Chain A
Amino acid sequence: MDETVAEFIKRTILKIPMTEMMTILKAWDFLPENQLQTVNFRQRKESLVQDLVLLCESKRASLRDAALLDIIYTQFHRHQKVWDVFQMSKEPGEDVDLFDMERFKSSFEKILRRALKNVTVSFRDAEENAVWIRIAWGTQYRKPNQYKPVYVVYYSQTPYAFTSFCHLKSNTPLLSQALTVASNHHKIVKMDLRSRYLDSLKAIVFKQYNQKFETHNSTMPLQETLELDMHMDSRIIHENRIEKERVQRVTQETFGDYPQPRLEFAQYKLETKFKSDFHGGILAERKEPLRCLIKFSSPHLLEALKSLAPAGIADAPLSPLLTCIPNKGMNYFKIRDK
């Protein structure tokens, strides 16, 4: 086994937390069950890793096997990457898409290899007819860097692809081209949507985040009046009850009853002229637009926005610039004067 491959496997296994070690090794399915049972999983991690690497050497693990392990690790730790979303489109009136996964994979790899000899491409099929692609980029003279790969997640016969953030922007056009051609599309555009939470991005672009529907089978709960009133002592009077109910209603109409998809930030780039009621202010006469960047960050941005008005921090309804985020599939905005 190549030294670089051994080192790569060693470093990948070292990243795996002990609690997940068995699960990930089983998913990898490279070391058979009986061999795994001979290993002492209670020893210190460094010694365990050494034992495992020795086993891999005895089985002659290749770069391909190592790349597969890397994919599995990333699938378990997808939140460690920041994901972008690309949207592809076809010409109108195209034939029905007869997507063949094997043809897609070979076409994708061929396009990359034609442009760049030094590249490692690996695939792993995933649920819902999706595929995870791992690409380690090299250059004309240098071998691929296995420690800075790019991941692409593609659900067949959909126009969206999710890619992990790549430091090497120069390879993005090539990657875009490979994706577009291999999946029978014509154009590709990067969306202004980015997050660590791959599943939330998927929910947003596939429009799967609101899955509550009224049916005759389910009894829809009647418009819940403010819970405050129901259980409290009748001697307690709630001031602004009507206003509170209005805010509750507006919030529910805007954000719905469902759990919001998870995003960590929304960014607004403003390039607008200053608008003021006071004439003769210093900024009012400025002809150039002001440039500023406003960023909202949160462990769960949309839930935070949803709670703003009920908490009394903001007026309801919130600005459409905030509430349109899942609907428009954007969390990067550029606002200019019309």
Chain B
Amino acid sequence: MEWANDKSKGGVLAHLERLETQMSRSCKNLEDPPRETAESDLGTKIHKLRCLRDKLRAEVKQRQARIKASTANAEPDQTLEISEQEAVGGKEENMKAILQAYRFTGLSGKRTSRGVCVCISTAFEGNLLDSYFVDLVIQKPLRIHHHSVPVFIPLEEISAKYLQTNIQHFLFCLCEYLNAYAGRKYQADQLQRDFAAFLAGPLQRNSLCNLLSFTYKVEPQGRSFPFCARLLYKDLTTTLPTDVTITYQGTDASSTSWEEQRASHENLFFTKPLHQVFTSFARNGER
């Protein structure tokens, strides 16, 4: 503002004085004949502005009318849009469901901000068991950020061998180990839970479930001497034992019938999962 700058030339009061002199001068000017032309100039200006105002008002009204007309027409378009949205939403739900269902293939993953989070879902004989996760950071070198693989699974070994060179093999190998572990664990849990009546003592096991030691009877209420079983799973990628030792500690250990039984049991444990062996014992007992 100009007067602010003039302040320095003598303050506010000086400024007011100047305004006063200006006004008295302009009053003198107004008394002169040029006054009339100024007036008529202003008058035409006012007239022009009024016309412009009316024109703009009319245009606004027109536009409003047009919008109303177009929205009335657009309503059927909107309903079309809604159904399209629904269709897209439905597809999205479908996709999400498919992605969630990928878990059932045993190996699935999801992109993360730093790489991918792989999910290994273990299963045994059609039963879905625990899932394990490996969160990978996609960098050079590829590395594991964090994971839920149990500490007794040789993850470091497997990743040292394959992670950098062949990630497919890494995942496949890890899947093998985890599925085998889950299968062995499932068999041991089933034995403890469903066939406790057949066990003459506690089931001895370890973290990997690759050594099982137990005493069992063929008939839960039978007065027969129990058999001692020792199952070793030296191959961590399998769910069937690699070594089976059955011993019989009864007094008639030398009798051939017991020897036959012992041998047949050994064969059973080699070829069938634990709980199936005991199911067959139970079935034989029922006969």
- Please list the residues of chain A having a beta carbon within 8 angstroms of any beta carbon in chain B: 95-102, 128-129, 155-158, 160, 205-208, 210-211, 213-217
Contacts and interface: CB of A to CB of B under 8 A. Distances in A.
Q: Is the interface of B mostly helix, strand, loop or mixed?
A: mixed
From A101, A155, A211, A217, residue with most partner B Cβ within 10 Å:
A217
Given A157-B152, A213-B148, A217-B103, A129 B119 contact: no
Given A214-B117, A216-B96, A217-B100, A96 B210 contact: yes
Interface of B: 96, 99-100, 102-103, 108, 110, 112, 117, 119, 133, 135, 146-148, 150-152, 204-208, 210-211, 213, 232, 234-236
The 9 closest A-B pairs by CB, nearest first: A213-B133, A157-B152, A216-B99, A99-B206, A157-B207, A210-B146, A129-B207, A206-B151, A156-B206
A261 to B, nearest CB: 13
Contacts of B117: 213-215
Given A102-B204, A157-B208, A213-B133, A207 B151 contact: yes
8 contacts: A98-B211, A100-B204, A158-B207, A207-B151, A213-B133, A214-B112, A216-B100, A217-B103
B110 A214 contact: yes
Contacts of A205: 151
Given A129-B205, A214-B112, A99 B211 contact: yes
B119 A99 contact: no
B154 to A, nearest CB: 9
Contact of A155 (B96, B110, B135, B207): B207
A19 B102 CA distance: 49
A100 B206 contact: yes
A101 B209 CA distance: 12
Given A210-B146, A213-B135, A217-B100, A98 B210 contact: yes
Given A155-B152, A157-B206, A216-B110, 19 more contacts: A96-B234, A98-B206, A98-B210, A100-B204, A100-B206, A100-B211, A100-B213, A156-B152, A158-B207, A160-B151, A207-B147, A207-B151, A208-B151, A210-B146, A213-B135, A215-B133, A216-B99, A216-B103, A217-B100
Contacts of B152: 155-158
A207 B206 contact: no
